[in-house]
């Protein structure tokens, strides 16, 4: 196929991850090396930056800083949560996009994000096709949640999983120093899919992880939970480490996190799932319990990144550019794994944007034990290769040296 | 002075830190190398293990595992919170200690902990002197809080400070990706002394840290806080990062963390300081705010340790043994800094156990700005050398390889 000549634009969208910028580096560095790509623009705050003509000229960045992007967490160009309307209902944004694309001769559109961002990609691609504007659109996946459909796993998940498993091992050490133990309930991200919470089992596989794990894939049974807790509490001389997903729900669909306190004005106070369970455990079992939220570090702790994840995130960005130059459009980059001589290998595949947009992948029920309070070895085998190798931001004065981009606006 | 011949016992006490085991390695490895020390015992759960005759024979441990102790967080031998009675009031425990010391010919007692543990050391030392039992007692300091009196700084603080500053830099990246920012309030440990919360300014010194910092050393003024917040909120297009100590109090002495919700039964619910402030900020300013607790990772995140801290913690353990063998007793190891050719250097000093026990050191008021909402460069100069160099637990399958001790009980 003939090579399409023109400018490329790249945007970041949705919640940040530790490695979203590694994909950015993959796209930018690879695009800068293509003869047919005349300019490489970075959009400020994703699609919003395209609509507002806020483009950074990526050729003006120091190559050393672009390299540092690989180990700089969060979205260096700025992110956005913006849903494009259906073009049949309201085509204002699309007309504007076309205008901007024409003005800058944009022929390559790379967009990095999760479900919603792939929906944006899909809509942009379909509109450009409809109006006959030749432009190649490729999505680059990212999400710590690992819930994207059609791919073996997602860039961002491995580093989050590694931070979670590492932290749980450290917290296990911390929770076991006294002879009169206590209950520690750790809340991990994941509203509908339990991939991140399941990752805590990697710590258990090393003998220093949670005793009990509850995912949103299985309805949460409070009576059963208290039974589990009491059993482990007795067996472990008091020390119990529990991992729960923020999204666990009772059988009636209510979130455990909503099982909060009604304040004096009658308002329901949303506690975290872990805080609520710690309160319930303490009341019912009469034993000390604390809730701990791993919180936003899960998605930005680049100081404890997975080398496999950082490399694969870069590879996804690189592949997006190479595939687009080859002529592919309307796809999202995906991964499939193979085993060569027993060694894990991650290969690129292409997923139709229509297939990936808005679908959601959960932890298979058969990877969770029958009782619904632990995760099976199948998950350990799946996740172990994804946290392999250590990626760490280089330090200066003992602190991370993140990329410093110039972000020069293009005329 | 003649070398005292006999066995040594070492115990760990109080809350764990990332480097308490590095001091353990320092004591154990050094003691094993002394001719006059006939046996090296590790007490299980500190003083409780001595009272219960639960001793591990440290000579049976693999040297490689003892080395790994340097990068293994929390108390490998088990910790304890146990306050010895005044021996004039109740000498039961002391008689028992003497009995055990005699039985095992213990002539060296090394105890690793904070304020309370130095009190234990002091009491043991005084009692043994009173009854004429020849035994050298040396305390090894540890506390993430850095509030021990008479020492420039404390083993454990540097690693906690490094994790806090690193995390704040990463959270800063995370908090600044959207163009409509939000308020993030991070709660950091430290009930009475603000050393750890002040460390967040190291991130600010790199241009990626909190905009506002509140320590327990200054009474907290809610109206002033909301003013500060509003000002920064306007200046920063909405993104505000705030660091608060868990121990901040209003002028009347009430903890901000107590300013909680009264539930429907009329019970006061204790929120965290950050959660409460986020709620107040959201109500009063009508802008999105979230509270984040750094929580227990602050004291056990060995995956982000300070090399300076790990080395100094080891040095403190080593010095305890060497000083005791030299003939010193009734001291705690302390640090004083010097500057050679402008380079920071940490030197050992001896602090009388009577002086250190139960005293508390706070952040000097002159290191906090007049407004009480930020920390000055004097603190940055003080703390920067303490987080220098990266200490990281070696990994196996991408996860930390902590020390695995055999813990063989001595007969």
What pLDDT is stored for residue A264 in this prediction?
46
Closest CB from A303, A306, A398 relative to B388: A398
How confident is the model over A341-382, as pLDDT tens digits? 889 999 999 999 988 866 789 999 999 999 999 999 999 999
CB-CB neighbors (< 8 A) of A392 in chain B: 390, 392
How confident is the model over A52-108, as pLDDT tens digits? 999 999 999 999 999 999 999 999 999 998 889 999 999 999 999 999 999 999 999
CB-CB neighbors (< 8 A) of A164 in chain B: none
Q: Indicate whether A10 pLDDT > 90.
A: yes
Please report where in the chains the tokens 């080398």 appear, as a residue. Answer: A307
- Answer whether B111's CB lies under 8 Å from B120's CB: yes
Q: Is B68 exposed, middle or buried (0-12, 13-18, 19+ CB in 10 A)?
A: buried
Cα B403 from chain centroid?
A: 20
Mean of pLDDT over chain B: 93
Q: Is A285 exposed, middle or buried (0-12, 13-18, 19+ CB in 10 A)?
A: middle
Closest CB from A74, A170, A263 relative to B263: A263
What pLDDT is stored for residue B264 in this prediction?
46
Closest CB from A80, A166, A397 relative to B399: A166
Q: Which residues of B are catalytic?
A: 145
How confident is the model over B118-167, as pLDDT tens digits? 999 999 999 999 999 999 999 999 999 999 989 999 999 999 999 999 99
Closest CB from A45, A166, A388 relative to B179: A45
CB-CB neighbors (< 8 A) of B162 in chain A: 398-399
Mean of pLDDT over chain A: 93
Q: SS3 letters for A141-201?
A: ECCCCCCCCCCCCCCCHHHHHHHHHHHHHHHHHHHCCCCCCCEEEEEECCCCCCHHHHCCH
Q: Indicate whether A267 pLDDT > 80.
A: no
Q: Indicate whether B117 pLDDT > 70.
A: yes
How confident is the model over A128-146, as pLDDT tens digits? 999 999 999 999 999 999 9
Question: Hey, of A19, A71, A158, A177, which one would you mutate to test binding to chain B, going by the most B CBs within 10 A of its CB?
Answer: A177
| Record: contact A79-B177, CB cut-off 8 A | yes
How confident is the model over B331-358, as pLDDT tens digits? 999 999 999 888 999 999 999 998 886 6
Q: What is the arithmetic mean of pLDDT over B70-85?
A: 94
Question: Hey, of A297, A305, A309, A382, which one would you mutate to test binding to chain B, going by the most B CBs within 10 A of its CB?
Answer: A297
Q: Indicate whether A266 pLDDT > 60.
A: no
* Both structure tokens of B168: 């704040």
Question: CB A395: neighbour CB atoms within 10 A?
Answer: 17
CA distance A108 to chain B (A): 24
Chain A residue closest in CA terms to B398: A388
**Residues facing residue B37 across a β-bridge:** B6
Q: Is A263 a catalytic residue?
A: no
Cα R_g (chain A), whole angstroms? 23
Chain A residue closest in CA terms to B390: A398
| Distance (Å, whole) CA A174 – CA B99 | 32
Q: Indicate whether B4 pLDDT > 80.
A: yes
CA distance A280 to chain B (A): 14
| Distance (Å, whole) CA A151 – CA A161 | 17
Rounded to the nearest 5 degrees, what angle is found at the Cα of A61, between the Cα atoms of A60 and A67? 150
| CB proximity list for A100: less than 8 A, separation 6 or greater | A50, A51, A53, A106
Chain B residue closest in CA terms to A263: B263
């Amino acid at each position: 196929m003939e090579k399409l000549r023109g400018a490329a634009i790249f945007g970041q969208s949705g919640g940040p991850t530790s490695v979203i910028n590694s994909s950015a580096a993959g796209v930018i560095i690879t695009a800068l090396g293509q003869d047919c790509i005349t300019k490489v623009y970075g959009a400020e705050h994703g699609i919003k930056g395209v609509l507002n003509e806020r483009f950074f000229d990526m050729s003006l960045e120091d190559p050393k800083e672009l390299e540092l992007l690989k180990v700089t967490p969060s979205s260096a160009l700025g992110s956005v949560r913006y849903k494009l309307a259906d073009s049949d209902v309201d085509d204002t944004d699309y007309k504007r996009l076309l205008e901007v694309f024409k003005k800058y001769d944009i022929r390559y559109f790379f967009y990095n994000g999760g479900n919603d961002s792939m929906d944006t990609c899909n809509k942009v691609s379909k509109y450009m096709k409809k109006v006959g504007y030749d432009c190649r659109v490729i999505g680059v996946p990212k999400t710590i949640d690992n819930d994207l459909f059609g791919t073996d796993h997602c860039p961002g998940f491995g580093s989050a999983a590694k931070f979670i498993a590492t932290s749980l091992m450290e917290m296990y050490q911390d929770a076991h120093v006294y002879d009169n133990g206590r209950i520690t309930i750790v809340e991990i991200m994941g509203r509908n899919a339990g991939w991140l919470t399941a990752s805590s089992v990697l710590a258990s596989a090393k003998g220093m992880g949670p005793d009990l794990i509850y995912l949103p894939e299985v309805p949460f049974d409070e009576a059963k939970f208290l039974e589990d807790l009491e059993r482990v509490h007795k067996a472990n001389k008091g020390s119990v480490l529990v991992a729960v997903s923020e999204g666990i729900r009772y059988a009636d669909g209510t979130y455990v996190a909503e099982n909060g306190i009604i304040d004096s004005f009658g308002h329901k106070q949303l506690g975290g799932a872990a805080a609520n369970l710690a309160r319930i455990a303490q009341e019912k079992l009469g034993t000390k319990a604390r809730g701990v939220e791993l919180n936003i570090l899960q998605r930005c702790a680049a100081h404890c990144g997975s080398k496999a994840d950082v490399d694969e995130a870069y590879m996804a960005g690189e592949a997006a550019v190479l595939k687009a130059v080859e002529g592919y459009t309307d796809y999202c980059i995906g991964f499939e794994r193979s085993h060569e001589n027993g060694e894990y290998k991650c290969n690129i595949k292409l997923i139709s944007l229509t297939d990936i947009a808005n679908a959601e992948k959960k932890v298979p029920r058969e990877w969770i034990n029958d009782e619904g309070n632990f995760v099976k070895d199948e998950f350990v085998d799946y996740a172990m290769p994804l946290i392999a190798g250590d990626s760490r931001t280089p330090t200066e004065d003992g602190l991370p040296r993140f990329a410093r981009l110039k972000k020069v606006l293009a005329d």
